[in-house]
Chains A and B, each alone.
Chain A
Amino acid sequence: MGAEIAEARTPILSIEQLEVSLFTRGGVLPAVDGLSLTVAAGETLAIVGESGCGKSLTALAIMRLLPEPPARIVGGAVRFMGRDLVSLSERQMQRVRGKDISMIFQDPMTSLNPVVTVGDQLIEAIRRHTDVSYKEANNRAVELLRQVRIPDAERRLGDFPHQMSGGMSQRVMIAMAIACGPKLLIADEPTTALDVTIQAQIIELMKELQASSGMGLIIITHDLGVVAEIADRVAVMYAGRKVEDAPVASLFERPVHRYTRGLLGATPSAHRRRGSRLVEIAGSVPALADLPAGCAFQNRCADVFDRCRVERPQLRPLLPHRTVACFAAEKELSRDAAVIGA
């Protein structure tokens, strides 16, 4: 789907200036800092970044499942179908979770209850939000397992999670997540723990389910290969902030933020000549406790200049359908524009 079409639709989820802080003994750390995002129905948004960039905390904040303490939403809004989830009570939120918004996690083995059969876990998920009999829920559970391509579904209902492989467990998690026909599915590293061939199966399955249901999908990953396979639009995060947001094809074709460029260059790919060096991003991600003044990426950036050290770059619409928070990119692109203008 073209990103233009997705943008024209009203978003089902719109995050505005979300702030999540970690209250630690060492002080209050800005783990998610002024993040804004939108997801439309039928759209797949990938949130990409390395460990500690705040991508998983963002997902947990949407679900209101942040580990409190230390984490807490300290500002901003999470508007979902017109309601601000941040202001809901826990009881109200329980009616949203699993029904309107569901989530699947990286490790399917620890996300399922080991002492309850897969069938009973599915039936519980169905009956929590719908008024159906156990028998009806049971039939629905069989149907769901078929939908996620688990062979021999009736018999599998009686299995415990340990009797299933990692790929099968992730299918069960997906079945549970789509049980009540959610408008939005959040998948946090859903294929990271799986082998390549199983990963491909799960990605294909998620694409199909989305195409048939029209739900919005947020996929959180560090794997640019997965992003290229599934996303319509990509938000790149670094040290708690969004640094670039663009449609997937144009992002891979022309990454603008220096961090995005680094990430793409650091990913080995089959079409780059073998023997050519990977692009390194020097150094490592700064700790949240001592983020530098100005741009958080300045100490790893090759194009850093004075302004980056004193002022924080804000997200600006530098290309069509794209926002970027980078002073070097602003300079470069305005120069390009000037050349074209001349």
Chain B
Amino acid sequence: MPLLSVLSLCVQYQSAQGVVRAVNDVSFDLEAGETLGLVGESGCGKSTLGKAIMRLLPSCDGRVFLDGDDITGMQPGALKAARKSMQMIFQDPYGSLNPRHDVGTIVGQPLSVAGWSRRDIRDRVTELLEQVGLPAEAMRRYPHEFSGGQRQRIGIARALALSPKVIICDEPVSALDVSVRAQVINLLEDLQQKTGVAYLFISHDLSVVEHISDHLIVMYLGRIVESGRSEEIWDRPAHPYTQALLAAAPVADPRLARSRVRSVLQGELPSPLNPPPGCSFNTRCPYARERCRQEQPLLRSVSGGRRVACHYDLMEQQPAASYAAAAAN
């Protein structure tokens, strides 16, 4: 049984201009101790999905199972107990820590909500700070006394407090400088080794996600367009959007960056208020045909646990070849 199982989850927002379906029919499993990366560009619904799983946002349809228990319909009391096994780390290490609480209070808060004694809380906080590489005396200091990277460590310590089984990391390193980012990524990996915690790792940075994830989900306009094992997707992306994302990612290697043929994806993300009919990627897809403009492709399983939402099998084809094939049809 998977640790976290999401079934046909939908989240919608009511805006002045109409209803936005931010997350649409999303299903996936997360196994204990593994890292699942969730990538996509701004507005694809990845952060909304993370919050909806935590039930920080209401979902309008679908189910979320944690350890086999359906948490979507849970009453507040039961939910509070379930949330012990599920925690979150946020992007902004400045906005996510209360500036008026000292670090001991911040990191100890989940424990005091769970009813721990003050003495136990102090011991556990000391242990947690050590785990994330901060001195015990940090406990009596306030968030403004720390750098961005150290604050993110404080956020990680807080998330670990109740020994959760899964942590949802929403762009945890996007606000950090390169050298500090590496420290935090290594820390997250070490903690996973030690505690066996699973991560749902949300990021727009493909190189970071590829580095840390076992499995990968690619989202576009609220839907999963591709999922599968991380290195397989990286080596052979099947969905045209995944191919475009990988082609667009800058490569930190000047010779490779200059020698590769770069097909830059044209156009921009359509408005989520008014997604195009058929496949939501058809307005930017170089291979789009008539069928793509009319029929929404289903997320179907292909080989080796890979799922792709595309009418055509593009994995085996070179982009140029499939472009020619598309033109011939």
Binding site for B on A (CB under 8 A): 50-51, 165, 167-168, 195-201, 203-204, 222-229, 231, 248-249, 252, 262-271, 274, 277-282, 284-285, 300
Q: How far is the CA of A156 from the CA of B50 in the complex (A)?
A: 36
On chain B, the residues within 8 Å of A262 by CB distance are: 179
Give the complex CA separation of A164 and B239 in angstroms: 28
Contact of A225 among B177, B204, B231, B250 (CB under 8 A): B250
CB-CB under 8 A from B189, the residues of chain A are 277
Q: Please tell me if the beta carbons of B42 and A195 are within 8 angstroms of each other in the complex.
A: yes
* B178 adjacent to A224 (CB under 8 Å): yes
Bound-state Cα–Cα, A15 to B300, Å: 58
A-B contact pairs, 28 of them (CB 8 A): A50-B180, A197-B41, A199-B248, A201-B265, A204-B264, A222-B177, A222-B178, A223-B250, A225-B250, A228-B250, A229-B257, A231-B254, A249-B255, A252-B252, A252-B254, A267-B178, A267-B182, A268-B185, A269-B253, A270-B207, A270-B234, A270-B251, A274-B210, A278-B211, A280-B183, A284-B147, A285-B177, A300-B179
* Among candidates B41, B207, B244, B251, residue contacting A229 with C-beta atoms closer than 8 Å: B251
Say whether B236 faces chain A, with CB atoms less than 8 Å apart: no
Contact B253 A198 (CB under 8 A): no
With A198-B268, A268-B210 as contacts: A204 and B262 at CB distance below 8 Å: yes
- Whether B245 lies near A280 (C-beta < 8 A) is no
Tell which of A229, A266, A277 touches B250, judged by Cβ atoms closer than 8 Å. Answer: A229
CB neighbours of B57 from chain A (8 A): none
Does B149 lie at the interface of the complex (its beta carbon under 8 Å from any beta carbon of A)?
Answer: yes
Q: Can you list the 8 inter-chain pairs with the closest CB atoms, starting with the nearest?
A: A225-B250, A266-B182, A268-B211, A200-B248, A281-B179, A195-B41, A50-B177, A278-B182
- Chain B residue with minimal CB distance to A272? B211
Residues of A within 8 Å of B182, CB to CB, are 265-267, 278-281
Q: Is the beta-carbon distance between A267 and B186 smaller than 8 angstroms?
A: no
A225 and B179 form a contact (CB under 8 A): no
Q: How far is the CB of B224 from chain A (nearest CB, A)?
A: 18
Whether the pair A268, B208 counts as a contact (CB closer than 8 A) is yes
Among A227, A228, A268, max chain B CB count under 10 A is at A268
**Interface of chain B: mostly helix, strand, loop or mixed:** helix
The yes or no answer to B298 lying at the interface (CB within 8 A) is no
Q: Which residues of B contact A282 (CB under 8 A)?
A: 183
The 8 Å CB contact of A263, one of B179, B230, B234, B244, is B179
* Cross-chain contact of A199 among B149, B185, B250, B254 (Cβ < 8 A): B250
How far, in angstroms, from A19 to B216 measured CA to CA in the complex?
A: 47
Instruction: Please tell me if B181 contacts chain A, counting CB pairs below 8 Å.
Output: yes
Other 6 A-B pairs with CB < 8 A, given A203-B250, A228-B254: A229-B250, A252-B253, A267-B178, A269-B207, A284-B180, A285-B177
Question: Is A225 within 8 A of B41, CB to CB?
Answer: no
- Closest A residue to B211 using CB positions: A268
Q: Is the CB of B255 within 8 A of A197?
A: no
Asked if B251 contacts A197 (CB within 8 A), the reply is no
Instruction: Encode B239-283 as 1/0 by CB contact (under 8 A) with A.
Output: 000001101111111111100001011101100000000000000
Across the interface, do B210 and A263 meet the contact criterion of CB distance under 8 Å?
no
Report the bound CA distance from A263 to B180 in whole Å.
10
- A263 partner residues in chain B, CB cutoff 8 A: 178-179
Closest to A200 in B: B248
**For the complex, is B206 an interface residue (Cβ under 8 Å from A)?**
yes
Please give me the residue from chain B that is nearest to A248 by CB atom: B254
Q: How far is the CA of A258 from the CA of B230 in the complex (A)?
A: 31
- In the bound assembly, the distance between CA atoms of A51 and B177 in angstroms comes to 7
- Contact, CB under 8 Å: B179 / A274: no
> Which residues of A lie under 8 Å from residue B244 when comparing CB positions?
197
Bound Cα distance from A252 to B256, whole angstroms: 11
Q: Which residues of B contact A198 (CB under 8 A)?
A: 41, 268
Docked CA distance A280–B173 (Å): 14
Which of B181, B266, B268 contacts A165, CB < 8 Å? B268
CB pair B185–A226 under 8 Å, yes or no, is: no
Residue of chain A at shortest CB distance from B234: A270
B294 CB to closest chain A CB (Å) equals: 24
Q: Return chain A residues, CB-CB under 8 Å to B150.
A: 284
Tell me which of B41, B180, B185 contacts A196 (CB under 8 A). Answer: B41
Is the Cβ of B250 less than 8 Å from the Cβ of A268?
no
Contacts of A274 in B (CB 8 A): 210-211, 230-231
A157-B268 Cα distance, complex, nearest whole Å: 19
A192 to chain B minimum Cβ distance, whole angstroms, is 10
Q: Contact between A271 and B253 (Cβ–Cβ < 8 Å)? A: yes
